[in-house]
Structure 1
């Protein structure tokens, strides 16, 4: 078992980070600080020609933005965490960036494409083109104050290029209470290492492999909050905007996947504080806390909510849910759009899903 605390005469503290080999699961080492964890992920960039707006699009556009080709033989295409880079001067083009996994309609697609954010139509364009990004070098990840395990010590002593290529690894992350929080996958190649000022027998290990999913800078304060430990009061996320609520929910979900949940017995009565359910992440954060307390998880989309209702996430059917201030959710979530752009009532769908899962809901 990997110890969560490493102590010597110079350095005392809980180790947040464990560098773990993916194939066999052995630990290369543990440390208290990871420099370079935050950065900007590689984003796809698209120029939308002949942009005709239907709504104002400024800055951050949405967590899920769908491009829907008029040609129904093609499925809608998703941009996650989409941003508007502005309209190009002297043109009628709009530039959007987002996380797209390099998937979407064919580059040669011709024809009108409509764009929506899951709640409203943003506009349409005559055609689009993918803008190839400039080559970006990998940002180093420096594990400071690392307590190396024997296998890592042997690799460093050998010092060959092959020995220093640790290949795929997980950076497993726990909070300051020693509980698993999340992890990041990376390709770990040692570029250099040196004795650490953190303490005797500790090293600063620099890896030149890039993180597969770096943490965006805008999420840093949320991560720092969760690294200190889970919230002890409900709705600690209430003051966040929608983008940062999704970042908060991502940690809620990832933490939940690393914990064992004890289901409450059937017949339990839950209460949901609906005052802050003004957007989709607020809905799932409030549901999670109603079932599992502050920082609790109970779905992040309709499919995940359905899974949670089947058990092993703190709930056993049947049960009751008293939903306070339900009018807030009804006002903000009744008009939604499917990926293909068909309108539906998200609030109503959630109520139906809860009922099908054995939850008797009382709205107040």
Structure 2
């Protein structure tokens, strides 16, 4: 279940709808942080999308909110797209700017679909859609649920972990020692999935790129450095991450990750 909420002083509720199409379209890839050309054509200026809002509530509240008053074409403007769990609680949100209604369709069976135009500062990951659906039923209660996701879809897991607002979101207390299970770290996205859970438990988040990882080490998304990190089976990641290209000569992605951790006072033990 989804809903729209105006980005105003009152968080004005605009209406529910049952599904969201053509919205989760991003394919940035975790490795794009090392590609100087990644994100060209949208980065900095944002992206324009035309998502479809399926199954608006029968009260017509959403249709009224999306219709431009007096035909002015203004629409609701800036909104938050909220995602809800099966109990109706908000578990995540995406900001969409300059929303205007382009087309309203009603089928014979009563199904409605609103096509809107909107601006986003970044494209929601394609893999996030199925993760949100799964977490709306039950967020992860054990680690490594993300392992079943194919490469290229794990970025969606990281996005949901970062945005998730459910009741079970807890800040892991600071300890002196943490263990990172390296068994399944076979690409860069899986490193961020694994370290998120190492630091904050099932479904945890602890960065999605080196800049975000560096920010997390100051606290706010879990334990702050300094601490000791024991990286079990680090050889799996070393083989994979060590061969990935970077913008620094003679420096691997693995080297850059370890350097990021150690610069903030983390003692990294490669086991």
- TM class by shorter chain equals 0.7 to 0.9
Q: Cα offset for 1:205? A: 6.7
SS in 2 for 1:252: helix
After superposition, what is the alpha-carbon deviation per residue over 1:183-239, rounded to whole angstroms, capped at 9, x for unaligned? Answer: 251543344487xx89xxxx9572432564665666543342233232111111113
Q: Which residue of 2 aligns with 1:240?
A: 149
Q: Which of the numbers 53, 58, 66 marks the counterpart of 1:141?
A: 53
Q: Cα offset for 1:290? A: 0.2
> What is the RMSD of the two structures over their aligned residues, measured on CA atoms?
4.1
Q: Which of the numbers 187, 204, 223 marks the counterpart of 1:296?
A: 204
Q: Which of the numbers 184, 192, 199 marks the counterpart of 1:276?
A: 184
Q: Which residue of 1 aligns with 2:249?
A: 342
SS in 2 for 1:208: strand
Contact map agreement 2:15 2:56 (CA 8 A) in 1: no
Q: TM-score, normalised by structure 2?
A: 0.76
| Aligned counterparts, 1:108-257, within 5 A | 138-145=50-57, 160-162=70-72, 165-176=75-86, 178-190=89-101, 191-192=103-104, 204=112, 206-210=114-118, 212=120, 220-255=129-164
SS in 2 for 1:160: helix
Q: Taking structure 1 as reference, are residues 300 and 257 closer, same or farther at Cα in structure 2, changes over 3 Å only?
A: farther
Q: Which residue of 1 aligns with 2:240?
A: 332
Q: Which has the higher helix share?
A: 2
Cα distance in 2 for residues equivalent to 1:181 and 1:335 = 35
Q: Which has the higher strand share?
A: 1
Q: Cα offset for 1:244? A: 0.7
After superposition, what is the alpha-carbon deviation per residue over 1:144-196, rounded to whole angstroms, capped at 9, x for unaligned? Answer: 226666xx6976899621387212222122333525223251543344487xx
Contact map agreement 2:50 2:115 (CA 8 A) in 1: no
SS in 2 for 1:283: helix
The 4+ residue runs of structure 1 with deviation greater than 6 A are 256-260
Contact map agreement 1:336 1:344 (CA 8 A) in 2: no
Q: Taking structure 1 as reference, are residues 28 and 146 closer, same or farther at Cα in structure 2, changes over 3 Å only?
A: farther
SS in 1 for 2:153: helix
Cα distance in 2 for residues equivalent to 1:245 and 1:153 = 35
SS in 1 for 2:130: helix
Cα distance in 2 for residues equivalent to 1:22 and 1:137 = 18
SS in 2 for 1:242: coil
Contact map agreement 1:266 1:317 (CA 8 A) in 2: no
After superposition, what is the alpha-carbon deviation per residue over 1:235-271, rounded to whole angstroms, capped at 9, x for unaligned? Answer: 111132321111221222222799975351353x322
Q: Which residue of 2 aligns with 1:313?
A: 221
Contact map agreement 1:264 1:316 (CA 8 A) in 2: no
SS in 2 for 1:243: coil
Alignment size in residue pairs: 265
SS in 2 for 1:142: strand
Cα distance in 1 for residues equivalent to 2:253 and 2:192 = 12
Contact map agreement 2:82 2:94 (CA 8 A) in 1: yes
Cα distance in 2 for residues equivalent to 1:193 and 1:66 = 43
Cα distance in 2 for residues equivalent to 1:256 and 1:155 = 25
Cα distance in 1 for residues equivalent to 2:97 and 2:233 = 44
**Structure 2: unaligned runs, 5 residues or longer:** none
After superposition, what is the alpha-carbon deviation per residue over 1:307-327, rounded to whole angstroms, capped at 9, x for unaligned? Answer: 111112210333222221111
Q: TM-score, normalised by structure 1?
A: 0.59
Cα distance in 1 for residues equivalent to 2:77 and 2:16 = 19
| Bigger radius of gyration among the two | 1
Q: Cα offset for 1:289? A: 0.3
Q: Which of the numbers 32, 47, 53 marks the counterpart of 1:64?
A: 32
Cα distance in 1 for residues equivalent to 2:206 and 2:213 = 6
